[in-house]
Amino acid sequence: MHDVPYFRPPELSGILADSAGIGFAMSCEDRTGSILATLAASKPGGRFVELGGGTGAGAAWLAMGMDADARLTTVEVDPAVQDIARRHLGTDPRIEFVTADAGDWLTEATGTYDFAYVDCRPGKYLRLPDLLTLLAPGALYVVDDMNPQPTWPDDHQPRVDGFLRDLPDVPNLRATPMHWASGLVIAART
């Protein structure tokens, strides 16, 4: 038994090489990506959102699990970072790239989503209730980087501690913390 992923998105090597080229070291790791793809495959025709899209590694994994009718909106505040994602994934008609602050996106968002992968402060440490109101019953909510990361600023650990402490009390959410990969929480909206 091992936990090495069975598959990898074809775009991933190029995305990671270009990410290294600009010194971007925050892409999700392969184990996280693999579970994103597996969970994504459980939502045929689903509406997906990723907040904090980075250079597109997470989006590539999600897209690998999504079927032809599923749609992903990936939101990233830094256009230079997102440019790598656009270059490698821009021909995938299922993916919409939004260059915006995720907080602003949350203010404007309408409709319901079946899957949220949240990788920046809005939707996780900020405005979690606003994100959760967008999720349909049965929708999945996934966050990573719950274990200490070398890229964290000095004041970040208390944010993570508070998030993990409060999560069991969030109404209509069944969450499981996973001390695995970068530290995940996988939750379902009830």
Ligand X SMILES: C[S@@+](CC[C@H](N)C(=O)[O-])C[C@H]1O[C@@H](n2cnc3c(N)ncnc32)[C@H](O)[C@@H]1O
Nearer to ligand X, 46 or 122 (CB): 122
**Could you say whether residue 52 binds ligand X (CB under 6 A)?**
yes
**Could you say whether residue 183 binds ligand X (CB under 6 A)?**
no
Site string for ligand X, 112-131 (x = CB under 6 A): -------xxxx---------
How many Cβ atoms are within 10 Å of 17's Cβ, its own excluded? 10
Q: How far, in Å, CA of 146 to CA of 118, rounded?
A: 12
| Total residues belonging to the chain | 190
**Could you say whether residue 11 binds ligand X (CB under 6 A)?**
no
- CB burial readout 30-61, b (16+ within 10 A) else e: bbbbbbbbebbeebeebbbbbbbbbbbbbbbb
The tally of CA atoms less than 13 A away on the side-chain side of residue 33 is 24
Give the binding range for ligand X (CB under 6 A) out of 2-10, 40-48, 49-57, 130-138. 49-57
**Could you say whether residue 96 binds ligand X (CB under 6 A)?**
no
Chain residues binding ligand X by CB under 6 A are 26-28, 50, 52-54, 57-58, 75-78, 81, 101-103, 119-122
